[in-house]
Amino acid sequence: MEHFIIKDTRSLKDFGTNTFSGYKKTDVIQELKKKIMNCDKQNAFLWAFELLGCGEIQKIYDTLFFIIFKKIGIENPRLPHRFYRRYKFMIALREHYVSQYSQNQKNKSMKWVDLELRNQTSLRNHICELITICCESKKETSPSCIKIKRNEFSGAFIKTKAKADTNDYIYGLRRRNDSNEVILAMNEIGYALKEKNETHAFFWISWILEWDFLLLKNGSKLLCGDRYHIYARDEANDVVWFIWEVLLKNSENLDKDVRLQIHSCFQLYKYDWTPGKKRSKSHLMLLCVEYIIKMYSMRHETIGKLKHILKESANSFFHIETLKKHEIVETNSSLWKLNSVKTRDKLIPSEKEKQMTSKQREKKTREKLIKSSEEKIWTVYKLDKQMN
């Protein structure tokens, strides 16, 4: 696997706004999105490795996150949990490297680690796997928050929009300090989920988030009780955790696999959450509404055929060789590690190999490498499955 080891000694500062081969990072991200949306796997692998080579692993996962949750959504209902597992693995791998090599363990960005991670086979496999699944999934724009007009906050309009016949749709979920408008909106969301009224649920989630935004804009805050049992940090009194409590409560009686997808969306929403991100991540809530209303069970495997995904991942590794043509190695660099550099074995060709043309020998070498890659990827997959 020496062909696939990147030994480039450039630092993050050296790359700047450019990728491994000198392309603009912003252009590469747009091309990666475009290739995945057009189901062009091989070129998507190439652009992903461009970002991987310069330490922009987070940009790859952000792109996949955008496509999975905004362009695929419920069309591939098992995909959110698959992405969550892969994302959690990447974060754990980062933290492991930080604990092993960083003297300053308070470094929150951990970006320097991503250059070390680019040679991690498991991480490469996961990226290729997710790209393959995204390319082969049906695309359909996921719902977004409804635009709420100012007059829709008036008491007269709210009376015409409220449909719940009782206040018991959020029974047991209220907390001290929950304001009346919060209780009203949450009860309407609970009613919509029970009655399978998707549009009504979308409206009230959008309504309460917009009301919260307007209050903050005017220097006030929407009153809501603490919900440390689902978000054990500061800002546990934010209204979004009440919304999630209603969603999680209404998912309790669903199929186990459906609950797993909703739980994964919730964990992704919580990760690195700040009040400024509540609206940009709201599509995760709306996706969970779709799961609760539309998905009674998931009996069919919709992720994709495992052997096909593994084969695509093995073939993708040859893009690393393309990347290595632009490699820069300086022996006086701090990233130069003499012990990690291995010389390739020079094998004496057999009589049969001597009679082959250069193209035939290259084809045979390629087939051997693909077979070796598939075996290693399969081993990594089995280990990963046991761990998860």
Residue 341: per-residue pLDDT: 33
Least confident range from 43-57, 143-157, 258-272, 336-350: namely: 336-350
Looking at the fold, whether 35 and 132 belong to one and the same domain comes out as yes
Residues 129-140: pLDDT tens digits? Answer: 999 999 989 998
In the chain, the percentage of residues whose pLDDT exceeds 70 is: 74
- Give the separation between CA 272 and CA 91, rounded to whole angstroms: 11
Residue 342: per-residue pLDDT: 31
Looking at the fold, whether 6 and 131 belong to one and the same domain comes out as yes
Residue 385: per-residue pLDDT: 56
Instruction: Give the confidence band of 382 by pLDDT, cuts at 50, 70, 90.
Output: low
Residues 213-265: pLDDT tens digits? Answer: 999 999 998 989 999 989 988 889 999 999 999 999 999 999 999 999 999 99
Residues contacting 257, CB < 8 A, separation 6+: 78, 297, 298
Looking at the fold, whether 335 and 233 belong to one and the same domain comes out as no
Mean pLDDT of the chain: 82
| Average pLDDT over every residue of 159-171 | 93
Closest CA to 381 of 306, 273, 317, 321: 306
Looking at the fold, whether 282 and 262 belong to one and the same domain comes out as yes
Q: Where does residue 333 rank: exposed (0-12), middle (13-18), buried (19+ CB within 10 A)? A: middle
Looking at the fold, whether 226 and 349 belong to one and the same domain comes out as no
Q: Where does residue 218 rank: exposed (0-12), middle (13-18), buried (19+ CB within 10 A)? A: exposed
Looking at the fold, whether 256 and 179 belong to one and the same domain comes out as yes
* Residue 119 confidence (pLDDT) above 70: yes
pTM of the model: 0.80
Given 276, 294, 312, which residue is the final one in a domain?
294
Closest CA to 133 of 293, 310, 314, 321: 310
Q: For residues 277 and 105, which has the higher predicted lDDT (pLDDT)?
A: 277
Given 267, 294, 321, which residue is the final one in a domain?
294
Structural contact between residues 148 and 210, judged by C-beta atoms closer than 8 angstroms: yes
Given 266, 294, 322, which residue is the final one in a domain?
294
Q: Where are the beta strands (DSSP E) in the chain?
A: none
Residue 133: per-residue pLDDT: 92
Instruction: Give the confidence band of 344 by pLDDT, cuts at 50, 70, 90.
Output: very low
Domain tally, the chain = 2
Closest CA to 62 of 39, 40, 36: 36
Q: Which amino acid belongs to residue 42?
A: Q
* Residue 367 confidence (pLDDT) above 80: no
Domain that holds residue 186: 150-294
Q: For residues 42 and 207, which has the higher predicted lDDT (pLDDT)?
A: 207
| Average pLDDT over every residue of 11-21 | 89
Q: For residues 298 and 341, which has the higher predicted lDDT (pLDDT)?
A: 298
Looking at the fold, whether 18 and 108 belong to one and the same domain comes out as yes
